Amino acid sequence: MINPMCPFAQRCLYVLSFKRAAVKVRNVDLSDKPSWFLEENPSKYLPALLVWNNGTKVIIHESIIISQFLDALPGISIYPKGECFLTNAAQKAVIDMKVATDVEPLRRAVRMAYWKSQPNDREVLSFKRIVKNVNDMVLNGCYFEFQIFGRDVLGFIDLMALPLIERIIAFKDLGLKYYENLRLDDLLKWYSRISQIHFIKAHSMPLTRYINLRKQMQLNKYRGLVLPAEAYDVEAKL
Ligand SMILES: N[C@@H](CCC(=O)N[C@@H](CS)C(=O)NCC(=O)O)C(=O)O
């Protein structure tokens, strides 16, 4: 269960698209939650994955956990898969750690940029620190695993970071204080590379949709993510 404009759902969609796994995707309007959704997913949060295992229903939440579950399904893996199981496990641990410590703080930066038009100095500093850290992890537009393992290959960190970085990039020309003297060159190079990948293109959105959603929030008109995503092609008006 997803909404195509939800950055956390997008993480799962990218992993699904990479795996080419046959999973039924159901879209949910979060501004008007249907009764089937409330019954099947009492937490009301997206993304959510319903799995039937030996007659038992399991509902999985949290974009990272769902993405890891999807990756573990039969087929190719977005995690490094070499000959040695210990190396694989150690590398997976390092990758998961990087997502937790360096990518997840982007949520806070994105949230601030969506909601807070007049940030105080502490908020601006915090935004800049989070974004600079990520910018420095993709020097010259290399994928995240280059800095960690020395190979410029798309991996799990890239897919978890993409929906959040997309929003950071989308808001860069709106004159927000967060972006004053903030270097985004490496992230922009990284973004221009990753957005050309076929399975990424299949789920990517025009960045203007995030700008229009932000406008809706700023006008205090946000009541949850609606369907279809095309609704965000038009700018919100007072
Ligand atoms: N930590 C969660 C965050 C999920 C989340 O915040 N989802 C939002 C949509 S983007 C949601 O379902 N909100 C409920 C609502 O709007 O009613 C994850 O990574 O999956």
**For residues 111-136, average pLDDT:** 98
Atom of ligand 1 nearest to the CA of 45: 12
With the most atoms of ligand 1 within 8 angstroms of its CB, the residue from 6, 96, 213, 214 to mutate is: 6
pLDDT digits (tens, 9 = 90+) for 151-182: 999 999 999 999 999 999 999 999 999 999 99
Atom of ligand 1 nearest to the CA of 46: 12
Asked whether 163 lines ligand 1 (CB < 6 A), one says no
pLDDT digits (tens, 9 = 90+) for 62-115: 999 999 999 999 999 999 999 999 999 999 999 999 999 999 999 999 999 999
For the chain, where are the alpha helices, taking DSSP H only? 7-19, 35-40, 63-72, 85-98, 105-115, 121-135, 144-149, 156-170, 185-194, 198-201, 208-218
Alpha-carbon distance 17 to 195, whole Å?
Answer: 14
Q: pTM higher than 0.85, yes or no?
A: yes
pLDDT digits (tens, 9 = 90+) for 6-55: 999 999 999 999 999 889 999 999 999 999 999 999 999 999 999 998 99
Residue whose CA is closest, atom 14 of ligand 1?
A: 45
